[in-house]
Each structure stands twice: as structure tokens, then as C-alpha cells.
Structure 1
Amino acid sequence: MLHHFKGFSMRRQRPRGSQLGLLLLASQLFQVGLDNVPPVTLGVLGLNVYLYLFPAAPLMQACVSVQNAYWHGDWRRLFLSPFHHVDDWHLYFNLTSFLWKGINLERRMGGAWFLYVLSVFSLLTGLVYLGLEAGLTLLTDDHSYSVQCAVGFSGVLFALKILSNHYHPGGVTHVLGLRVDNRYASWVELVLIHLTNPGTSLIGHLAGILVGLLYTAGPLKSIMKTSAAWVTGPSRFSQPNNSYSGYSGTRSGGPAGGEYAGRRWDQAGGMTEQEQLDQALRNSLNDAGPRPGDAAPPPYGFNLSDEEVRRRRLMRFDR
């Protein structure tokens, strides 16, 4: 959740006593296994926990609003607000949600591109939030919108949820006990969270949804690719080297102490399903067979058998 505060009447934080939220978060991580969390996801989790324990600024100096960022020129709040939380439960719910989204999306996109996406989403969500609040101020002539100060990571989480649903079309998800089609899950969650917890920022969550849509259905991904190619060079960007090959922990039935072999394959961050299938087919056709020391194939079908390659080709031609 992303909380907002009107003006300087910020509600009191819960006393930092038992820190049950932190304990539950640690329990969740150990259940998953630290070795099973990709490095960027783990690093972002660690950054949020560190800034909760040792904040870079008090909450009222870290939250972002039109008044503080635009009127007073304190733009550093755009970088601080996503990574600061009101209390341990705020931190727990946000990071638990991010844990699963991060594992799935980082494995799919690769660490470098996922870090790039997180950086852009964190900054852009704040900018869109400011734009929405400023627009509401002008439309309603109500300056309370400009002084609502938001803090928390859930705006970014809503953007990541749009990505996750885009990469896994169809199916249903459960939102507060309701079965909802994945296409509408973010919108239903936006409304229900605001109704059940009025202290959350509806505009902040909406900003995250809009950023996610800008990436999946708008020009944002193309702009990011062009910018990355301009910085790194077109030849390097055309085939990014994402060597992270899934979980690094030991797997059952494998050799003693065996880990995934760190096998390398090319996977462009943010590829469509069809692009990933084409890449998988090329990789499989270029593979002369298992390499010595390969403990397991990489995830997401990047080591298809010849029979599977033929079957998928036929399916494509049938379409």
C-alpha cells in the first residue's frame, strides 16, 4: 500500500516495538530461500528494509507531493518516497508482494533489464502522481490535492502487476477473496484497497497502473530500449547478455552440492511471447546437445527438444 498524508497532519506511526512485520518478512524470505531470490529482487528488498531501519530522511521529508516537490523544488523526494514506509506492516505487505513479482519478472527479463525497469518505474510513478494531483487541483480548485504527501512502494507494485498480467494473459486472480479476471485485477484491487483502507493513496496507485500501461500498451518500452541502445551501443543492446539462469540453490536429485550451471542464453528484456518463442527456437537449433557440466536446462523452455521445436513450428504454421 502507498499511504498519503494531507498537509502536515501526518497520522502517528506505530511504535517500533515488536516489529512483527519485519519478523514475518524474514520468515517469508527463509521459507522461499535466499538462494532462490534473484539478485536485483534481493537487493531491492534489502534497500527497503535498510531505509526502514535507518531512514534517509523523516517521513515528512521523504514523502512526495505537489507542494513539496514542485512548489518548493524538493525533487529528491521522488527518489526517497518509493523506498520509505510508514510502519513495519506497511513494509511487510509491500515487500511480500514485491518478492513474488520480482522473482517472476526478474527471471523473465534478466537482472539488468529488470533493474532498469524498476528504476524508471520508481521515478515515473512519482512524476505521474504529481501530474494527476496537480490536474485535480486545477480541475476542482481544491488545493488539498497538492498537499497530499505520498510514501511507499506500492505505486511501483501496481505497475509491476500490470506487467505480470501482461506476460500471463488469461486466468483469474484473487483480490480480497474475489475471483477476478487478470485483465481487470489491478483496477478492482485499486478500488477495493481504497475502500477497505482509506489511508492509502488512490492517486498513487492509479499512477502505478498508468505507468504499467505506458510500458505494455504505450511507448515507454520502446523509449527505454532506444535510450539503452544509445547508452550501450546498438550492437551490445541488440543481444543483451543476461547470464542469470534462474535459481542458484541446490536442486533435489542433482549431484551433491550441484547448482544450476549458470548457462548463458540471450533473452531480450521485455520481449513479447512470440519473440521469446522465436528466441527459444533459435537457441535450441543452435544447441548441439547438452554441454559438459550442465546441471539443468534454463527455465522458460530455452532448451527445447527437437520434437518440441517441430511441434511448436507446426502450431505456428497452423495458425
Structure 2
Amino acid sequence: MQRRRRGVDVGLILLLSQVFQVGLENIPPVTLGTLALNVFLFLKPLKPLLKVCISVDQGYYQKDWQRLLLAPVHHADDWHLYFNMVSLLWKGIKLERKLGSVLFGYIIAVFSVLIGIVYMVLEFALAGLLNDSSYKMNCAVGFSGVLFALKVLNNHYHPGGTSNIMGIRVSSRYACWLELVAIHLCSPGTSFAGHLAGILVGLMYTLGPLKMLMKAIAGDFPYFNDSARQRDYYSGSFNSPASA
């Protein structure tokens, strides 16, 4: 897996334009910091993509666990970065405003690692069920798994409404499942297991077990309580393209 370069990084330019259109002052700190980290590592990657992508072979068999940290924040090209980060802007502003920066940062950190683990479990299961060891070699990078998890959270904390997926109006509650299929059909090179892992982790949180575990680990962490959360950080609005 090599980074795809196309000369001028048009996607990066469009992303920066979108950020300044929203206004830096309107982007909560964790969302802005996460976006900045992804952009920085796109411009100055720590390692080549083949050294950061996560797979059963490299993560589990080779015990290269640092890939769990590196894979989510590296991207294959500028358009991969653009769509993921614009999606992060939209979801991050809404969720960080709802949950507060401390809890949102905690969620981002846990989800980034856990989704990589669930992804490996899914690929390992597919390899066994289909008797095809190539699934263990599938190597994924990018923030889209975390974005699918955040979409589940966003629909949980902001229920109701509909989404337009490829011209199909569907309840936002089920939009992530239709997007999962639509993205895989339109872009076969994307990681179906990575996106599915994100949805599953999001459901693990909203349905209770993961949230309770995170709360137990945090001990007296007050930000799981509504009264301790910071609200109303961002009062503007902007549209994002259809993406994870």
C-alpha cells in the first residue's frame, strides 16, 4: 500500500477552505486537534502506509500493536483525508458540543484503538468462515471506522430526522447501515470490515456495555453526567458532503 499522490493536493486545499469557512473559533478543541493531527500526519507521515496500516497479520501475528494507534490517523491520499475530515467536522462539532470536550476526547481515544481490534476480529472471522487467508492480510488505514462509530453516537444523541443516501431517504437511525453497503458498492477498495467495526463499536457504546466499562475505568470521572458537560460551543451551521 503506497500513498497515492496526484501533484497538487486539491482535497487538502478544499479541506482547509471548509475549515476556514466554518471558522476556527467555532470548532471545539478536541475536534480541531484531531483534525490537525490527521492533516499533520498526512503532510509528515511517521512511516510509509505499509508500516502503519492495521491487519491481522501485522497486528496480531507480528505483534505490531503500535499500528492500532497509527492506522486511524494516516490516510491514503488527499481525497481520503478530505472526506474523512469534513465528516469529522460535522460530527465532532455536534457531539463535542453535546458531550463536552473531555468526554468526547476520551471517546475518540478509546474508539480509535478498539475499532482496530474489532476490525482484526472481523477479518479473522471472515478468513475462517470463507477459508480464505487473504482476509488476514487486508491492511486498512484512515479515520472512517471512527466516523461510523461517531455516526451511531450522533444518531443516538440527536434522534429523529432522515438522511439522503444516494437519493434514498432513510431514517437517520438506519443510515449508517445503508451507507455501509453503499460505500462498499461504489468504492470496492474501501474497508467494509473497518466500517462495520466502527458501527459495532458505536452500538457497543450506545447500548451500554462499552459505556459502562469506560465509566468504570474512569472511576469518578464526572463528564459521564449531563450536569458536568460543556454545551452550546458552536451555534452556526454548515453542510458536509455525504461521507462516513
Both proteins in one fold, TM over 0.5: yes
- In 2, the alpha carbon distance for the partners of 1:239 and 1:180 equals 30
Given candidates 194, 208, 233, the residue that maps to 1:246 is 233
Partner of 1:46: 36
The question of 1:157 aligning with 2:147 is answered yes
- In 2, the alpha carbon distance for the partners of 1:184 and 1:88 equals 29
Structure 1 residue runs of 5 or longer lacking an equivalent are: 1-9, 250-319
Q: How far has the Cα of 1:138 moved from its partner?
A: 1.8
> Contact between 2:41 and 2:73, CA under 8 Å: does it hold in 1?
yes
Larger Rg: 1
Aligned partner of residue 73 in structure 1, secondary structure = coil
> Contact between 2:204 and 2:210, CA under 8 Å: does it hold in 1?
yes
**Structure that is richer in helix per residue:** 2
> Which deviations, in whole Å up to 9, do the C-alpha atoms of 1:129-161 show, x marking residues without a partner?
001111111222210000000100000000000
- In 1, the alpha carbon distance for the partners of 2:146 and 2:222 equals 31
Given candidates 70, 73, 76, the residue that maps to 1:86 is 76
> Contact between 2:102 and 2:223, CA under 8 Å: does it hold in 1?
no
Partner of 1:70: 60
The question of 1:209 aligning with 2:196 is answered no
Q: Which amino acid aligns with 2:120?
A: L
- In 2, the alpha carbon distance for the partners of 1:146 and 1:25 equals 33
The within-5 A match list for 1:121-200 is 121-200=111-190
Partner of 1:37: 27
- In 1, the alpha carbon distance for the partners of 2:223 and 2:114 equals 26
Which deviates the most, 14-23 or 141-150?
Answer: 14-23
Partner of 2:242: none
> Which deviations, in whole Å up to 9, do the C-alpha atoms of 1:183-233 show, x marking residues without a partner?
21000000000000001000110000000000011401111111111xxx3
Q: How many residues align?
A: 236
TM-score normalized by structure 1? 0.70
- In 2, the alpha carbon distance for the partners of 1:236 and 1:111 equals 9
> Contact between 1:228 and 1:237, CA under 8 Å: does it hold in 2?
no
CA separation of 1:22 and 1:86: change in aligned 2, threshold 3 A? same
- In 2, the alpha carbon distance for the partners of 1:206 and 1:163 equals 14
- In 2, the alpha carbon distance for the partners of 1:15 and 1:236 equals 42
Larger RCO (alpha carbons 8 Å, 6+ apart):
2
Aligned partner of residue 174 in structure 1, secondary structure = strand
Aligned partner of residue 84 in structure 2, secondary structure = helix
> Contact between 1:125 and 1:208, CA under 8 Å: does it hold in 2?
yes
- In 2, the alpha carbon distance for the partners of 1:89 and 1:13 equals 11
The within-5 A match list for 1:211-230 is 211-229=201-219
Aligned partner of residue 139 in structure 2, secondary structure = strand
The within-5 A match list for 1:250-261 is none
Partner of 2:241: none
> Contact between 1:111 and 1:244, CA under 8 Å: does it hold in 2?
no
CA separation of 1:234 and 1:62: change in aligned 2, threshold 3 A? closer
- In 2, the alpha carbon distance for the partners of 1:245 and 1:234 equals 21
Aligned partner of residue 112 in structure 2, secondary structure = helix
Pairwise CA RMSD of aligned residues? 1.9
- In 1, the alpha carbon distance for the partners of 2:167 and 2:25 equals 31
